[in-house]
Chain A
Amino acid sequence: MKPLNEMELWFESRSSNEGFARSAVSAFIAQLDPTIGELNDIKTAVSEAVTNCVVHAYRNTIGRIYINVKITEGAVVIIKIRDKGIGIENVAQAMEPLFTTAPSEERAGLGFAVMQSFTDNVNVRSSPGKGTTVILKKRISRRVYNG
Chain B
Amino acid sequence: MINRVSFNENEMTYRLSGEIDHHSAKTARELIDSLIQQKKPSVLKLDFSDVSFMDSSGIGLIMGRYRMMHLYGGELCVVNVPDQLEKIMFLSGLGALGVIEKKGEAYETVE
A residues whose Cβ falls under 8 Å from a Cβ of B? 15-16, 18-19, 22, 36-37, 40-41, 43-44, 47-48, 51, 54-55, 105-108, 110-111, 113-114, 117-118
Contacts and interface: CB of A to CB of B under 8 A. Distances in A.
Which of under 10, 10 to 19, 20 to 34, or 35 or more describes the interface residues of B? 20 to 34
A43 B19 CA distance: 11
Contact of B92 (A19, A22, A108, A118): A108
Interface in B58-111: 59-61, 63-64, 84, 87-88, 91-92
Contacts of A16: 23
Interface of B: 19, 21-23, 25-26, 29, 53-57, 59-61, 63-64, 84, 87-88, 91-92
Contacts, number: 66
Contacts of A15: 21-23, 26
Rank and list the top 5 A-B pairs by shortest CB-CB distance, nearest first. Answer: A106-B60, A15-B23, A110-B56, A47-B55, A108-B60
A110 B64 contact: no
